Amino acid sequence: MTADTPLSGRLDDDDYPAYTMGRAAEMLGTTPGFLRAIGEARLITPLRSEGGHRRYSRYQLRIAARARELVDKGTPIEAACRIIILEDQLEEAQRINAEYRRAANAAADGSRPGAS
């Protein structure tokens, strides 16, 4: 999305960095330090404004909210970040496997006699 994109398009974009650190922390009911910590753990990487301030997207806030849930249940922040990263990797691997299965099934269906 570019600066030329209409505002309405940016408002619907889950990846648009619309939230300041203060606003993001307020929305999550946490502190800016928490957001810095999950950034240092490389769970999320906020974009930087021209002035160098962190900006967060709605997608990043959902990830941060998941981390907060785990931390609130007693999981150390580094472990919470690792859990979320592993969950994301597992989800992606399952998606890829499902695509391979669909392709294999389509190929098998296409090679059967009488298949059209």
73: exposed, middle or buried (Cβ count in 10 Å: 0-12, 13-18, 19+) = exposed
The predicted structure's pLDDT at residue 17:
85
Domain assignment present for residue 116? The answer is no
DSSP track, 41-59: TTS---EE-TTS-EEE-HH
Residue 82 pLDDT grade (very low, low, confident, very high; cuts 50, 70, 90): very high
Domain assignment present for residue 21? The answer is yes
- How do strand 19-20 and strand 54-56 relate by DSSP bridges? antiparallel
Q: Please state the domain count of the chain.
A: 1
Domain assignment present for residue 25? The answer is yes
Domain assignment present for residue 2? The answer is no
Task: Measure the CA–CA gap between 70 and 52, rounded to whole angstroms.
Answer: 29
Domain assignment present for residue 4? The answer is no
Domain assignment present for residue 84? The answer is yes
The phi, psi pair for 111, rounded to 5°, reads -95, -5
The per-residue pLDDT for range 10-61, each reduced to its tens digit, is: 667 888 988 999 999 999 999 999 999 999 999 999 999 889 999 999 999 9
CATH (domain of 96): 1.10.1660.10
Q: Structural domain of residue 100, as residue ranges?
A: 9-111
- pTM for the model stands at 0.74
